[in-house]
Amino acid sequence: MTQILDGKALSLRIKDEIANEVRAFAATGHRPPHLAAILVGNDGASQTYVANKEKSSAEVGFLSSVYRLDENIDEAELLKIIDFLNRDDEVDGFIVQLPLPKHIDEQKVINAISSDKDVDGFTPVNIGRMVLGQDAFVPATPMGICTLLQRYNIPTEGMHCVVVGRSNIVGTPAANLMSRKAFNCTVTMCHSRTRNLPEITRQADILIVAIGKPEFVGADMVKPDAVVIDVGIHRIPDASKKSGFHLCGDVKHSEVDSKCSWVTPVPGGVGPLTIVSLLQNTLLAYKKKYSL
Ligand code: GUN
């Protein structure tokens, strides 16, 4: 029988745990952890993500601030703000919401973030540390996937994990983490140039889909009783909805779910855990800074 990896419910539980820690720090005279975000331009999805990060920060008792910058801001101006946040003792961690406008060099901007405040885990230092198995801030989405698998006690040892998508934010770090000792999976990484993709995904005991294409994975691509993790989230125009759209993932849940042992819904699967991971990384940055 298919069971749901309920990211929404798990995220509420973990947020409660974080809020308790923050309250305990406050009781001993410490200020709350502070997460800042830089949002450039008016991309609708990015605005929603950043608003959710603000809301979640408030829910666990964090301070949060958002730097909303004009679409046309100079790269040099943006780098100055990053330099300011790197030095600001009152900010424990910050993120630069991606994607950035085309005239800005994204990698240059990421490289400018202090690795001690890089709670997205996007800087070369943190990615290098993660790959080496050293203490690191791990990117939020793959960290959320790991948390889901661990908290639901999903067996992973010796399993074949197939990752579809090789982005720096999700696929590449997810493949690395699943191969590590904590999970001990045999990992296959697939991408847009992979031949015979369905043949490979059908071998997956654990299938992580982060390809960014609506309902890309159908029932013909999934082995019976697989664990399926759907990282995609897409707004599909839908006149029957008050909002004018409905959400779907990279997996065609209407035909895949009944084949799975465990599956993440969209929405309410990986998404809430991504934000929780960012909060956990911020708490970690704060604790490191004050040796708590
Ligand atoms: N854009 C999409 N996902 C993310 C994320 O996890 N962090 C940042 N900074 N930008 C994103």
- For residue 123, CA distances in Å to 67, 109, 113, 281 come to 20, 9, 7, 14
Task: Quote the pLDDT of residue 227.
Answer: 99
Q: Encode pLDDT of 22-74 as tens digits.
A: 999 999 999 999 999 999 999 989 999 999 999 999 999 999 999 999 999 99
11 three-class SS: helix
CA quadruple 137, 139, 142, 144: dihedral positive or negative?
A: positive
Task: Quote the pLDDT of residue 127.
Answer: 98
Q: Relative to the CA of 140, which ligand 1 atom is closest? A: 6
Cis previous bond, 155, omega within 30: no
Task: Quote the pLDDT of residue 141.
Answer: 98
Please write down the long-range contacts of 40-43, taking CB distance under 8 Å and 24 or more positions apart.
Answer: 40/69, 40/70, 40/71, 40/73, 40/78, 40/96, 40/97, 40/100, 40/101, 40/104, 41/69, 41/70, 41/71, 41/100, 41/101, 42/71, 43/99
Q: Encode pLDDT of 129-139 as tens digits.
A: 999 999 999 99
Task: Quote the pLDDT of residue 22.
Answer: 98
Catalytic residue among 15, 92, 97, 205: 97
Task: Quote the pLDDT of residue 152.
Answer: 98
Q: What integer is the mean pLDDT of 237-244?
A: 96
Task: Quote the pLDDT of residue 7.
Answer: 98
Task: Quote the pLDDT of residue 267.
Answer: 97
Tell me how far apart the alpha carbons of residues 252 and 262 are, in angstroms, rounded to a whole number.
15
Determine the distance separating the centroid of ligand 1 and the alpha carbon of 187, expressed in angstroms.
24
| Structure tokens that stand for 56 in this block | 């979640």
Cα-atom radius of gyration of the chain, to the nearest Å? 19
Average pLDDT score over the chain: 98
Backbone angles phi, psi at 230, to 5 degrees: -105, 110
Q: Is 53 a catalytic residue?
A: yes
Q: What integer is the mean pLDDT of 182-208?
A: 98
Task: Quote the pLDDT of residue 162.
Answer: 99
Catalytic residue among 15, 117, 118, 120: 120
Residue 193: pLDDT band by 50, 70, 90 thresholds? very high
Task: Quote the pLDDT of residue 258.
Answer: 98
Tell me how far apart the alpha carbons of residues 169 and 106 are, in angstroms, rounded to a whole number.
13
Q: Relative to the CA of 274, which ligand 1 atom is closest? A: 6
Q: What integer is the mean pLDDT of 229-250?
A: 96
Q: What integer is the mean pLDDT of 121-142?
A: 98
Q: Is 120 a catalytic residue?
A: yes
Per the CB < 8 A criterion, the answer to whether 164 and 197 are in contact is yes
